[in-house]
Amino acid sequence: MENRTLLKLVAGAIGLAAGAQVAAKFRRDVRAARNRYAALRRVADTRCGPIEYAMVGTGTPLLLVHGAGGGYDQALDFGLPLAGSGFCVIAMSRFGYLGTPLPDDAGPAAQADAHAALLDALDVPDAAILGASAGAPSSLQFALRHRGRCKGLVLVVPAAYAPRRGGAAPLTTPAGTEALFETALRFDFLYWAATRLARKAMVRGLLATPVDVLDQIGPEETARVDAMLAHILPVSDRRLGLLNDASVCSALPRYDLEAITAPTLVTSVADDLFGTYDIARYTAQHIPGARFLGFRSGGHVWLGHHRRHLAEIAAFLRETLTAPPRRDASVPQP
């Protein structure tokens, strides 16, 4: 009896120790996610309310508009290499993300006006704009509503309108995404645990990327996957933005693409599980002079093509910001 009691006590102590270690690791990861760009974080007081942002680099201003689950920090993850390519990168948090509150009107047009308000607060007369995924609707609206200030437009795996048979929603939804919204994307600890216990499900449902792509990439891209998942923490500080994006992207109308005058590059990946490839091609076909860059595989986060993707974007911006747009240019699919 004494031996059994001792064994139970030992097992309980081991369980408590393991639980304490897990809790400590969770708190450490959340703290690291919050602090990784804290020194660069600023909040601008604009006519559209407070907007969180960071600014790095010198050169032509480039406003980065993040996708669902993002924030100024995730925009910086993408934008730092561009800041080293001759651009002043302005990475901001959209409505409902991190330090930017969610107003009553948080639609794409209102967000586009907030982009312009941020530029005003920073005394930036005009800029190129890059909208990724759910950041595309407000970027398109910026190009339409503030066309005199839009020097160039880049849309990456864009959430936008494209005609579909049967009147389907603009974006497709990978298996498991809705379940993640009701579980892991509600609470920081559940999300943190899911990235460790259900990594492939998170890659498919959240990053909208076929899991077999994970077997075809090297260590650098594998590390990028892990970083993208880790950097959604704390998800609780992004949930209002996520819910707003889900509402906006469920019924996107067709914008007046033919009226966009900014030089434009649109990129996507054929096996993106959000179905942005056809959307991107349609968008590029209807914006005058737009270029399209497509990859065959890599999912919504273009795994295996990150370096080339950044290089193509930087080259496009350098060329088009110093020369008239080429009306017949296109980039072949590799």
- The string of DSSP codes covering 82-138 is HHTTTEEEEEE--TTSTTS---S--SHHHHHHHHHHHHHHTT---EEEEEEGGGHHH
Per-residue pLDDT tens for 130-187?
999 999 999 999 999 999 999 999 999 999 999 876 555 567 766 656 666 666 677 8
Which ranges of the chain have pLDDT less than 50?
1-3, 6-7, 9-10, 13-14, 16, 325-334
Q: What is the CATH number of the domain that holds 129?
A: 3.40.50.1820
Quick one: 165 exposed, middle or buried, by C-beta within 10 A (0-12, 13-18, 19+)?
exposed
User: 73 in a domain, yes or no?
Assistant: yes
Q: Is 12 left (phi over 0), alpha (psi -120 to 50) or beta?
A: alpha
pLDDT of residue 23: 82
- Count of CB atoms situated within 10 Å of the CB of 175: 10
CA distances from 226 to 155, 200, 229, 282, 297 (A): 24, 11, 5, 32, 19
pLDDT of residue 315: 96
User: 24 in a domain, yes or no?
Assistant: no
End-to-end CA distance of the chain: 70
User: 23 in a domain, yes or no?
Assistant: no
* Distance from C-alpha of 210 to C-alpha of 203, rounded to nearest angstrom: 7
pLDDT of residue 264: 98
pLDDT of residue 12: 55
Dig out the tokens for 174 from the structure.
């990978």
Q: Structurally, how many domains does the chain consist of?
A: 1
pLDDT of residue 307: 96
User: 265 in a domain, yes or no?
Assistant: yes
**What strands, in cross-sheet order, belong to the sheet with 87-92?**
42-46, 49-56, 87-92, 60-65, 127-132, 150-156, 264-269, 291-295
* Distance from C-alpha of 280 to C-alpha of 157, rounded to nearest angstrom: 7
Model-level pTM? Answer: 0.88
pLDDT of residue 325: 44
User: 2 in a domain, yes or no?
Assistant: no
Domain containing 111 equals 38-172+242-320
Nearest to 144 by CA among 28, 264, 20: 264
User: 227 in a domain, yes or no?
Assistant: no
pLDDT of residue 197: 83
User: 47 in a domain, yes or no?
Assistant: yes
User: 33 in a domain, yes or no?
Assistant: no
